[in-house]
A = this chain, B = another copy of it.
Amino acid sequence: MSDKKGDLISYRPDIKLLDATIRDGGLVNDFRFSDEFVKTLYETNVKAGVEYMEFGYKASKELFDVNAFGKWKFCDEEDIRAIVGDNNTDLKLTVMADVGRCDFKKDIIPSDESVIDTIRIATYTHQMPGALEMIDYCHDLGYETTINIMAISASKDEDVKKSIELAVESPVDVIYLVDSYGSLYPEQVRELTKMYCEAAEAKGKKVGVHMHNNQQLAFANTIEGIAYGASYADATMSGMGRGAGNCYMEQMLSFLKNPNYKLSPALKFVEKYIAEEKAKGSVWGYDTPYMMTGALNRHPRAAIAFIKEGNTDYDGLYQDLLNELS
């Protein structure tokens, strides 16, 4: 295999895990997590040796009703501090800010006044100028930044390439390969990761991967991405995340050989808190409808609605999806 980095026994110190349970999982329950859930998750990540924990979004309170969502949609500084204090740990804290859906000039304070370490900027290719403005702004405030270019499987190759070219010329630290629709296959992830890494490494930047499980490929794609050069891997506890969900943190802690990583704290968290979250009615994970939207390279919204309705006419959904293509 050309360009493969690392092997199954040793470990690469450049690889870092990011727990996105609250942020991506918040899309399942409108960010309504108990403080105990979030606090225990924070402690779990510290014990497990996870390098980053994402608390949620910095969403605009002009655009979104604060009463319609839990607090992690907005991630006020005092709400994070109520969980982590001054965060006297090695765990770095992140929030995500969507281009066009946040008031970053109002809501993002200088990094030396914040417990947040890293701002992750989520963008579509057509929003790149807005993303670059946010990167500059957050970088100047002292934050580490990442750019998460979404829905690339549904974008033109040249738009993705141009977006990467723009990103590597910015002060951003990490460029994320994001499979928003869970439609990429491992062989595509290998080629894309190599392309991202070649562009990023030339400018001293790192690459991350964020995969979805629509085709039961989130873990496979994540380990392929890191095998071919990505350094940052997103995962969530038991894959909690919108629709088919994400790469499972337990699997990453089990797979990676860095002696800092401990699986036991994650297993204990899953036993109690993920079980409770499911008992509350939160639904995520691989299911037949997600396989269809993933394989057809479509946003999962039709599958999410289908499952929410309790519909099981899988072939009807499949025919609808095919008809929309034609």
Contact = CB atoms under 8 A, between A and B. Distances in A.
Given A186-B186, A219-B216, A275-B312, A270 B251 contact: no
A264 interface: yes
Contacts of A275: 312
Interface string A250-271: 1100110000000110011011
Given A254-B291, A254-B295, A295-B254, A315 B186 contact: no
B220 A216 contact: yes
Nearest to A213: B216
A54 interface: no
Interface residues of A, number: 43
Contact of A1 (B1, B220, B248, B318): B1
A184 to B, nearest CB: 10
A270 B314 contact: yes
Interface of A: 1-2, 4, 8, 185-188, 190, 213, 215-221, 223-224, 227, 238, 248, 250-251, 254-255, 263-264, 267-268, 270-271, 275, 288, 291-292, 295, 312-315, 318-319
16 contacts: A1-B190, A8-B187, A8-B188, A186-B223, A219-B220, A220-B220, A220-B221, A238-B288, A251-B291, A251-B295, A264-B315, A264-B319, A268-B315, A270-B288, A270-B314, A275-B312
